[in-house]
């Protein structure tokens, strides 16, 4: 660790996109020589994280290249990096498309290395420890323990630990043909025989990834995407920039002044007003399709609709500006109702799949290789290593493989927590948020302990904060939070120069 003027040290746990963004802003905004940073990453080089790790090229980003960036103020940062890259630029020349996620991972790795170089010039060292942190203990400073029993002390710790594991809904772990962690997909599916029947748990973007990766490896057997609702993600249309006129911070403040709380119906009313000038029916967005049409019919309709600009998608994307605050002030009973009745649907609409993936899924459905089935009730392993699934009405299906594509769990059930999360919860340094993840202070991202005290020296960014901010599944919002947090930490350090004043 380098020598800095104040002897302040910052530990960052997790080395994915959130970490790259956060460390960039810490170094960029930091007063030369004011602190050192140490990043702990358990599984891979710092940069790609889970989402953008090395994997098959068929896995694409779900936003166009020009709009994906790890820097909040520069949406074209990745695009510019790509355009000037000596190796990748010729490969992707003129393509402003949905590019491979692993390519974005290479960009993240480069941004991080560049940050380290800038840090060196500013006497801010950025070290990497390639180990898993499993324990945090608070004394006057924070002691992190890695899996090998080593300990490291820090003044500030920031959790960028990304996605906890999915929930094992049917207790299938331990079976040879059950894949609990689908990513990286290439090795996970390479052992599946060509004609095997595969059940994919979930029907969201991860399930779509699994289906198209199986198709790419020449799979000929049946693939069933199984979920309770049978709702596929929408299809992304051409992006039309949109300035919100009704669903705004001013509208929110107006409602709060009148009533002190936001109701779900307020949000729906403002959303309807946003759509009205474009003649789009809000019911198409907010009502499930699965009750009305078969998935194949619905997907065909979506593909047709995606040829035109769909304003509701732009409205939902533009709502990134205000979504966190609307969530903060939403009535608690409405939050519960939203999470119970609308959350899954919202995610299916808010995270649409690119047309190229939708076309593949549609073809596979037409060829009857792929089926989207709702009403999954129960599943278990049989003694021959295969599985059975039972659906509403008692229908039974048999499968050779089960792949869990339900995505990262929001609720921190014991089985989905990592060692570090469990240690934080057991020591009372963190508490579960009622709507997912751990509780953090809205303004600062400071982790709230069991007594309800926010600790400014222990903060968190990313999925783990989803209960407080609701929508954390977009890099744009993660980068925005990372920038705010870094600015605030740097500001406090610069003003005080002493860590004691942080607490
Ligand atoms: C499959 C997938 C695809 C996505 N695609 C897009 C997209 O196209 N566009 C978009 O805007 N958003 C996308 N997202 C949303 C995504 O959440 C963010 O873009 C971003 O990648 C999140 O980064 P992160 O650093 O928070 O988490 P992660 O990418 O999960 O990285 C966390 C890292 O922390 C490490 N770690 C965790 N715990 C510890 C520990 N205790 N000790 C040491 N290391 C630890 C992990 O090994 C991991 O590398 C996608 C998400 C997923 C899961």
Q: pTM for this one? A: 0.93
Domain count, the chain: 3
Range of the structural domain that residue 186 is part of: 178-233+354-404
Give residue 306 CA to ligand 1 midpoint distance, Å.
28
pLDDT at 54 over 50: yes
What are the C-alpha distances in Å from 99 to residues 62, 131, 144?
A: 9, 30, 37
Residue 112 domain flag: no
In a domain, 195, yes or no: yes
Question: Is residue 437 lining ligand 1, measured as CB closer than 6 Å?
Answer: no
Residue 275 lies in a domain: yes
Is 74 within the bounds of a domain? no
| Residue 28 lies inside a defined structural domain of this protein | yes
Report which protein residue has its CA nearest ligand 1's atom 12.
Answer: 474
Atom of ligand 1 nearest to the CA of 101: 8
- Whether residue 129 lies inside any domain: the answer is yes
Considering the domain architecture, whether residues 489 and 420 belong to the same structural domain is answered as yes
* CA 40 to centroid of ligand 1, rounded, Å: 14
13 and 145 fall within a common domain = yes
pLDDT band at 229 (very low <50, low <70, confident <90, very high): confident
Residues 345 and 196 in one domain: no
* Beta carbon of 482 within 6 Å of any ligand 1 atom: no
Query: Do both 40 and 139 map to the same domain?
Result: yes
On average, the pLDDT of the chain sits at 91
Pocket test residue of 22, 44, 51 for ligand 1, highest count of atoms within 8 A of CB: 51
pLDDT score of 388 more than 60: yes
Q: pLDDT (tens digit, 9 = 90+) per residue, 480-496?
A: 999 999 999 998 887 77
- How many Cβ atoms from other residues are within 10 Å of residue 283's Cβ? 8
- Dist. CA 186–CA 53, nearest whole Å: 11
Q: Are residue 333 and residue 386 in the same domain, yes or no?
A: no
Residue 42 shares a structural domain with residue 151: yes
Which of ligand 1's atoms lies nearest the C-alpha of 472?
A: 17
162 in contact with ligand 1, CB cutoff 6 A: yes
CATH code assigned at 153: 3.50.50.60
Whether residue 186 is found in the same domain as residue 334: no
Pairing of strands 9-13, 156-159: parallel
215 shares a domain with 342: no
Who has greater pLDDT, 416 or 248? 248
> 467 pLDDT exceeds 60?
yes
Regarding the beta carbon of 14 and ligand 1, being less than 6 Å apart is answered yes
475: nearest Cα among 314, 276, 320, 359: 320
**% of the chain residues with pLDDT over 90:** 73
Answer yes or no: is the C-beta of 64 below 6 A from any ligand 1 atom.
Answer: no
Residue 500 has pLDDT above 50, yes or no: no
Q: Is residue 341 part of a domain?
A: yes
Ligand 1 atom nearest residue 48's Cα: 29
Our answer on whether the CB atom of 40 is closer than 6 Å to any ligand 1 atom is yes
Give the pLDDT score at 74. Answer: 95
Same domain, 359 and 496: no
Q: Say whether both 272 and 323 belong to one domain.
A: yes
How many whole angstroms separate alpha carbon 46 and alpha carbon 56? 19
Nearest CA residue ID for atom 1, ligand 1: 51
In a domain, 209, yes or no: yes
Using the mean position of ligand 1's atoms as its centre, give its distance from the Cα of residue 7 in Å.
30
Taking 80 as the threshold, does the pLDDT of residue 17 lie above it? Answer: yes
In this structure, are 188 and 322 located in the same domain?
Answer: no
Ligand 1 test: best mutation among 16, 25, 165, most atoms within 8 Å of CB? 16
**Among 148, 161, 181, which is best to mutate for testing ligand 1, by the most ligand atoms less than 8 A from CB?**
161
Query: What span, in angstroms and rounded, lies between the C-alpha atoms of 20 and 82?
Result: 17
Helix boundaries (H) for 128-235: 185-190, 205-216
- For the Cβ of 466 lying below 6 angstroms from any atom of ligand 1, the answer is no
Q: What is the pLDDT of residues 210-224, one digit of tens each?
A: 999 999 999 999 999
pLDDT, tens digit, 9 for 90 and up, residues 144-203: 999 999 999 999 999 999 988 888 989 999 999 999 999 999 999 999 999 999 999 999
User: For 21-35, 85-99, 425-439, which range has the lowest pLDDT when averaged over its residues?
Assistant: 85-99
Q: Ligand 1: which atom is nearest the Cα of residue 61?
A: 8
Residues 481 and 342 in one domain: no
């Amino acid at each position: 660790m380098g020598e800095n003027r104040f002897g302040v040290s910052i530990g960052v746990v997790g080395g994915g996109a959130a970490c790259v963004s956060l460390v960039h802003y810490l170094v960029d905004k930091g007063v030369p020589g004011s602190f050192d940073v140490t990043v702990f990453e358990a599984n891979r080089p710092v940069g790609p994280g889970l989402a953008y790790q090395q994997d098959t090229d068929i896995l694409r980003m779900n936003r166009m290249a020009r709009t994906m960036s790890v820097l909040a103020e520069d949406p074209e940062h990745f695009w510019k990096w790509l355009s000037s890259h000596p190796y990748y630029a010729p490969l992707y020349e003129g393509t402003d498309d949905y590019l491979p996620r692993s390519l974005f991972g290479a960009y993240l790795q480069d941004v991080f290395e560049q940050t380290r170089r800038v840090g060196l010039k500013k006497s801010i060292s950025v070290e990497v420890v390639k180990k898993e942190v499993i324990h945090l203990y608070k004394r006057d400073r924070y002691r992190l323990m890695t899996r090998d029993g080593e300990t490291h002390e820090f003044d500030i710790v920031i959790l960028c630990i990304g996605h906890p594991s999915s929930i094992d809904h049917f207790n299938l772990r331990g079976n040879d043909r059950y894949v609990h962690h689908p990513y990286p997909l290439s090795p996970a599916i390479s052992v599946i025989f060509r004609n095997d029947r595969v059940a994919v748990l979930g029907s969201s973007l991860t399930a779509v990834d699994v289906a198209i990766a199986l198709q790419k490896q020449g799979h000929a057997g049946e693939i069933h995407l199984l979920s309770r609702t049978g709702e596929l993600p929408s299809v992304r249309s051409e992006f039309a920039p949109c300035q919100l006129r009704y669903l705004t911070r001013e509208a929110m403040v107006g409602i709060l002044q009148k009533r002190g709380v936001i109701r779900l119906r307020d949000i729906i009313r403002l959303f309807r007003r946003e759509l009205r000038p474009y003649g789009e029916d809000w019911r198409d967005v907010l009502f499930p399709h699965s009750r009305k049409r078969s998935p194949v019919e619905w997907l065909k309709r979506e593909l047709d609709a995606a040829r035109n600009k769909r304003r509701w998608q732009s409205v939902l994307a533009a709502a990134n500006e205000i979504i966190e605050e609307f969530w903060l002030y939403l009535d608690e009973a409405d939050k519960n109702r939203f999470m119970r009745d609308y959350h899954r649907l919202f995610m299916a609409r808010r995270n649409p799949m690119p047309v190229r993936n939708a076309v593949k899924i549609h073809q596979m459905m037409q060829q009857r290789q792929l089926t989207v089935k709702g009403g999954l009730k129960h599943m278990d392993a049989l003694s021959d290593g295969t599985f059975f699934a039972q659906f509403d009405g008692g229908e039974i299906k048999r499968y050779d493989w089960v792949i869990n594509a339900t995505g990262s769990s929001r609720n921190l059930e014991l089985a989905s927590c990592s060692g570090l999360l469990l240690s934080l919860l057991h020591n009372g340094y963190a508490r579960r948020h009622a709507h997912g993840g751990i509780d953090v202070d809205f303004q600062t991202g400071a982790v709230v302990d069991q007594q309800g005290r926010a600790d400014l020296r222990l903060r968190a960014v990313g999925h783990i904060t989803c209960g407080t901010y609701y929508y954390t599944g977009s890099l744009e919002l993660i980068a925005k939070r990372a920038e705010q947090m870094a600015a605030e930490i740097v500001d406090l350090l610069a003003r005080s120069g002493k860590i004691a004043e942080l607490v």
